[in-house]
Structure 1
Amino acid sequence: MVTLESRLPACYLTPDDLVDLFDLPSVETVYQWRRKHTGPRGFRVGRHLRFDPADVRTWVESLQGGAAV
């Protein structure tokens, strides 16, 4: 049987993680993406914004025209 825990990634990404990963100028860039609906899909856990690594990968692939990362 597949459980929720077996399908969840080991670590969700924070806005700061995306800044480091993509060498962005500031975390404000991530929040602007969210407001403009142009960045990777994120979700809130309470007041904290998090990103599923699979969603980030899908977003990057969409920018590359679907090419594998």
Structure 2
Amino acid sequence: MDQKVIRTAIEKAKTDELLSPKQVRQVYGFSEQSLASWRWMGTGPDYIKTSPGRSGRIKYKRSAIERWLDERTVSGGAAA
């Protein structure tokens, strides 16, 4: 297999990695409380809930977090 194809597959796997709120905090620095507030308000990154109700585990696709951050990136000199 071509090395470029392998690298692309590895990058895709990393992008689609599922992260718990704790892992999101460790990687991106957003507190679990902020993530919970954003879920409640409907303003945060897309997430996955494994089952209905309070017992459902929350997971975030790394790609969803990256997309959410990209949407909020402001270019230098642009009005915020």
Normalised by the length of structure 1, the TM-score is 0.69
Structure 2 residues without counterparts, runs of 5 or longer: 1-8, 76-80
Distance between the aligned counterparts of 1:65 and 1:52, measured in 2? Answer: 23
CA distance in 2, matches of 1:41, 1:28: 16
The answer to whether residue 57 in structure 2 is matched with residue 57 in structure 1 is: no
The number of residue pairs the alignment matches comes to 59
Larger Rg: 2
**5+ unaligned residues in a row in structure 1: which ranges?**
1-5
Match of 2:24 in 1: 18
CA-CA distance at 1:65 after TM superposition? 4.4
Percent of aligned positions that are identical = 15
- CA-based RMSD of the aligned residues comes to 2.3
